Structure 1
Amino acid sequence: MMDLTLYYAPDTCARVTMIALEEAALPYDARLISFVRGDHRADWFRTLNPRGRVPTLVIDGAPLTENMAILHWLAQVRPEAGLLPEASSAFEQARLLADLAWCASGLHPIVTRMRLPHFFCDQPDAAANVRALAEAAMIAEFRTIEARLAAGPWWYGERWSIIDAYINWIWFRVTGCGLDASAFPRLQDHDRRLSDRPSVRKVLDVHAAASRQLAEQGLAVNFDTIASQVSQGKAA
Structure 2
Amino acid sequence: MASSSTIRRDWALDFDVDDVVRSQSADPESVRAHRPKFIELSERALADGLNLIEPVVLMRQLPVATSRHNRVMLANGSHLTGPLITEHLGGAHEVVVMLCTIGDKLGRKAVAESDTNLSYAFALDAVGSAAVHALSAAACNQVEQDATSAGLQTSLPLSPGMEDWGVDPGQREVFSIIDPEEIGVVVSPTLEMRPLKSVTAIIGVGADIATKGAICDYCGLRDTCRQKIV
- Fold equivalence (TM over 0.5): no
The structure richer in strand per residue is: 2
**TM-score in terms of structure 1 length:** 0.24
**TM-score in terms of structure 2 length:** 0.25
Greater RCO, 1 or 2 (C-alpha within 8 Å, sep 6+) = 2
